[in-house]
Chains A and B, each alone.
Chain A
Amino acid sequence: MKFSILAILAMGASVPAFADWAETVEAAKGQTVYWNAWGGDQRTNDFIAWVSDQTEELYDVKIEQVKLTDTAEAVSRVISEKSAGNLDEGTVDMIWINGANFLAMKEQDLLTGPFVEELPNAKYLDLSPTSAASIDFTTPVEGYESPWRLAKFVFAYDSARVSDVPASMAEFVQWAEAHKGRLTHPTPTDFMGATFLKQALVELAPNKDALQTMITPESFTENTAPLWEWYDALRPNLWREGQAFPDNQSVQQQMLNDGEIDIALSFDPASTASAIEQGLLPDTARVFVPENGSIGNISFVAIPFNAANSEGAQVVANFLLDPATQAHMQNIEVLGSYSVLDPTKLNQEEAEMFDALPTSPALPSVSDLGPTLLEPHSSWMTRLTEEWAKRYTN
């Protein structure tokens, strides 16, 4: 105890003492946090409702989930509030966010922060400068958003219908030729559709380092040329000959369940196991990942600069990082989302909560998932989707 107080004093004013946190908790009492989160997944909605029950009991902080069809809705709301001069009574208290939306908000000074290091449970995170919790799509987080669930790009398929799965993105071309019309991807205006293209880009780009920096016209032309060649070969054999695409990965998962296609994709390695659990995919559904690994990132929560219930939002963000919360979330019977905590920072008791979780044959082990590839710089995603729309919209 003595040591920790000393350590805090030594670290200077930027890291507040527990007294500050106590003030935050006190101020948060009675607040209702409007958490803007994509609402297309019932289990996530149920989980958020569970979190609300817990925080209400523990901290007298309620959560009202604002169910979005697209996270950008919340961003544009904050923007219009700012332009209308609403600087401290914002209607958005917390956003489930990452990538382009985070970059847009951070660049326009629309976020509260840095606040993450002030959260007591931040001690369970690996916040070293290059860790996944510190970099969101190559944008430094710098304490402006707090992690809550892990995302890693995986594919799902029905092992009763398909026995061979592609081992790399390049092999998708032959696979689609052999299984005409049985492959698709969400439209790239959707986050997951863009990720499908990025996964291929990361594998096919001749100069992979360029992907980690701000895009230039030259690096774009050079590095996407193999991608378009690959896509031109792939597209005629896609579902509806590549003329139409599902809106998002949920719709695509439903298509897999209906048997309209053979492969779905997800940013949640446990989503297949949990979908089986809920009767949303057949028992024979399984997960696969390209052999050289797949893109991964972390989902965060951020607090807009004008949030009316900013303290409550911090209390919720902190609660989400509690090992017990993360273990509950990782349970496939609940949500099945992988924990964002650093396992080495858990004590034995905390680690056991994770070991005791139920398993499923559709749940890949960490080693099945292979290496995690870095997300390209955000500027790539924007250009990539624009170029795709230009080339393939008629």
Chain B
Amino acid sequence: MNIKKNIIGIFIIALIVPPILAGLWIGICASFGKFGSISHGPVSLEPWGVLLTEPGFISSLSATLISGFLSTFFALSLALIGCYWFQTTYSERKFSRFLSPILAAPHSAIAIGFAFLITPSGWFMRAFSPWLTGFESPPQIITSNDKFGIALALGLAIKELPFLFFIAITALRQIPLSSQLKTAAALGHSPKMTWFKIIVPQIYRRIKLPIFIVLVFGISNVDMAIILGPTHPPTLAIMALNWFHSPQLEDIFPGSAAAISILIIAILSIMVWEIFVKYIGKAFTAWVVLSKRSSSMEHLFPIAKSLILLIVFCGITALLSLILWSFAWRWSFPNIFPENFSIANWQRAISNASSIIYTSTFIAISSATISLALVITWLEITRGKRLQKFEWVFYFPLLIPQIAFLFGIDIMLTHLGARNALFNVILVHCLFVLPYTLITLEHSWRNIDQRLIKTATALGLSPLRTLWRVRIPILLRPILIAFAISISVSIAQYLPTLFAGGGRVSTLTTEAITLASGSDRRVAGLYALLQIMIPLIAFTLASLIPLWVFQNRKDMHGGRA
């Protein structure tokens, strides 16, 4: 029995790890000039030479680093301090009402909306023109697509703040919060300083993994960088993508070098981050010992509060602007609202987009179902087992920059003769969906009241029936939420869809990003809205279904993800 479980567990791991390693290996080989039939001669450093001497490489590198670190640092510090505010003043419901749409929206949708807010002809400038600024034409200032990647960092922060925030709140539940706060208060510490000195480090320790995921995404993302990032030169990830898509065959080599360099940068960044935090931690400990019970640090709290409000405001207005654009006909500077409205965009979309909506939903439901089945199997067979130690490999796909191994996976799929593009997309999506399914479900699954399971077993239920009759019904709400999150992760995938689908699989996200590189903000906005709607429907169903199923069972409403 045990051996059987181990075999299943190893099998699940084998679904994830070998493809990624093989993908990486192909990329590394290509970065040294070895690639299938077209590699010429022995191992060569030339691709790396091409990369390093590419005009603007240094600017590209610095924009990559700035957008990665700035966004992570910004979103993280606001999330850590923001929890305080949430914990003391607001109910979860009230807060998540504003954060959920941003959380559910794919990165590219937020990017499209945010780009419109901040461009010199954008919504913010329109709100003050010409009555205050005197601008009849948009001013000559640099906002989006700035050289340093700051607009990109802000866009990323908008999207990552709610993510880190919810993660931090989950971590908060594992900390004996009220007793610690009470003890500190009894010793005369102000609640804010207690939060800062005692609680924040405890949360940080628990959410390291998500932080690294955010950091790696910030360094390597393509979806947001295409829309908000610098263009001349672009970030490294876009540079790599351009080489991969060049008509010159040899460009695969510098493209791979760029992709592998992103992997190296990601690894180094995590190390630098760790060292940095270690030293901050030391200084922090010294400061905690020496500082007063209340200090000027408390001023950070209202600043953080206004920044959080600003970020959430940007996210929500970005989404609102998409709604307006999708119904606009003409909307020119400096009008704050469209001159005229039209439903023509929607009419055209209904006839053209229905098959794309269908494809996206099909991919999302398939990959979410596969991931959920694998995760439940994994959680069941690893209960109290050593195998659990290997769980971190599931986060591989999120910790390794996508672009470093997707090209290799694509080549591998072609070699294996896997030519059903839709099938390939679903499989590759699973790599990125599964870790999120696991992260959302793991905690509630493992912390279920064991007495219920024991009772069921004592009453003679087989393990399978216990799973089916006891565990799943009790955990219905977290399971459905994990499923909804999986759907939203799948809907948002851009690069995996592009590579695994060979461009033949159009989803709402590939469509929205392609359209964002065109001239019609109305259609781009519309597709971005459609991108958000599917996850929102999924989340709504996830919260309604348990209420309906358990309408006569009051105690079953409380289960948390």
Interface residues, chain A, CB within 8 Å of chain B?
34, 36, 39-42, 45-46, 49, 64, 66-77, 79-81, 83-84, 86, 89, 91, 100-101, 104-105, 108, 161, 180-181, 187, 189, 239-240, 243-248, 250-251, 253-255, 257-260, 275, 278-280, 282, 389-390, 393-394
Contacts and interface: CB of A to CB of B under 8 A. Distances in A.
B6 interface: no
B38 A83 contact: yes
Contacts of A394: 55-56, 59
B515 A40 contact: yes
Contacts of A86: 414, 419
Contacts of A255: 121
Interface string B393-428: 000000000000000001100110001010000000
Q: When A and B form their complex, which 7 residue pairs have the shortest distance between CB atoms, in order from nearest? A: A40-B518, A258-B121, A393-B55, A250-B519, A393-B56, A104-B247, A75-B247
Contacts of A248: 517-518
Given A42-B523, A67-B510, A258-B121, 9 more contacts: A66-B506, A70-B245, A80-B411, A86-B419, A240-B140, A244-B232, A245-B231, A251-B519, A260-B121
A41 B142 contact: no
Nearest to A252: B519
B231 A244 contact: yes
The listed residue with most A CB atoms (<10 A of its CB), out of B121, B348, B519, is B519
B352 A46 contact: yes
A61 B56 CA distance: 47
B247 A66 contact: no
A67 B410 CA distance: 19
B329 interface: yes
Contacts of B415: 84
A45 B521 contact: no
A49 B522 CA distance: 19
A243 B410 CA distance: 35
A244 B502 CA distance: 30
Contacts of B333: 258-260
Interface in B120-157: 120-121, 137-138, 140, 142, 145-147
Given A259-B121, A259-B332, A253 B519 contact: yes
Given A36-B503, A49-B352, A91-B504, A76 B245 contact: yes
Interface string B498-525: 0000111010001101110111111100
B516 to A, nearest CB: 9
B445 interface: no
A388 to B, nearest CB: 9
A187 B502 CA distance: 26
B274 to A, nearest CB: 33
B37 interface: yes
B195 interface: no
Contacts of A68: 503, 514
B23 interface: no
Nearest to B342: A279
Contacts, number: 156
A130 B35 CA distance: 40
Interface string B235-261: 000000010111111001000000000
A45 B140 contact: no
B519 A275 contact: yes
Contacts of A83: 35-38
A81 B146 CA distance: 37
Contacts of B515: 39-40, 42
B419 A89 contact: yes
A161 B138 CA distance: 13
Interface in B509-553: 510-511, 513-515, 517-523
B137 to A, nearest CB: 5
Contacts of A100: 247
A189 B348 CA distance: 32
A39 B519 contact: no
B521 A66 contact: no
A89 B504 CA distance: 14
A251 B233 CA distance: 17
A126 B106 CA distance: 49
Nearest to A391: B55
Given A240-B142, A394-B59, A81 B414 contact: yes
B246 A69 contact: no
A198 to B, nearest CB: 18
A92 to B, nearest CB: 8
B230 interface: yes
Question: What's the interface size class on B, roughly?
Answer: 35 or more
A189 B38 CA distance: 25
B247 A67 contact: no
5 contacts: A40-B515, A91-B504, A108-B249, A258-B332, A394-B59
Interface string B170-209: 0000000000000000000000000000000000000000
A374 to B, nearest CB: 22
A69 B523 contact: no
B330 interface: yes
Contacts of A101: 247
B330 A279 contact: yes
B519 A244 contact: no
B414 A84 contact: yes
B490 interface: no
B361 interface: no
Given A46-B348, A69-B514, A75-B247, A244 B504 contact: no
B119 interface: yes
A149 B121 CA distance: 33
A74 B242 CA distance: 13
Contacts of B513: 69
A252 to B, nearest CB: 8
Interface in B25-74: 35-38, 55-56, 59
Contact of A259 (B55, B137, B342, B518): B137
A390 B249 CA distance: 21
Nearest to B243: A76
Contact of A76 (B142, B247, B342, B521): B247
Contact of B519 (A180, A181, A280): A280
Contacts of A80: 410-411, 414
Contacts of B248: 104
A243 B246 contact: no
Nearest to A390: B55
Interface in B455-499: none
Contacts of A69: 513-514, 517
B517 A250 contact: yes
Nearest to A67: B514
A41 B518 contact: yes
B525 to A, nearest CB: 12
Contact of B231 (A49, A64, A247, A275): A247
Given A91-B421, A246-B231, A275-B519, A66 B504 contact: yes
Contacts of A278: 520
Given A39-B514, A64-B504, A260-B138, A72 B245 contact: yes
A71 B503 CA distance: 11
Contacts of A71: 247
A64 B138 CA distance: 40
A40 B517 contact: yes
A243 B141 CA distance: 12
Contact of A389 (B55, B252, B411): B55
A75 B247 CA distance: 5
A327 to B, nearest CB: 22
A261 to B, nearest CB: 9
B231 A72 contact: no
Given A67-B506, A187-B232, A72 B246 contact: yes
A127 to B, nearest CB: 26
A74 B245 CA distance: 8
Contact of B232 (A67, A243, A250): A243
B505 to A, nearest CB: 9
B333 to A, nearest CB: 5
A393 B232 contact: yes
B36 to A, nearest CB: 5
A253 B517 CA distance: 11
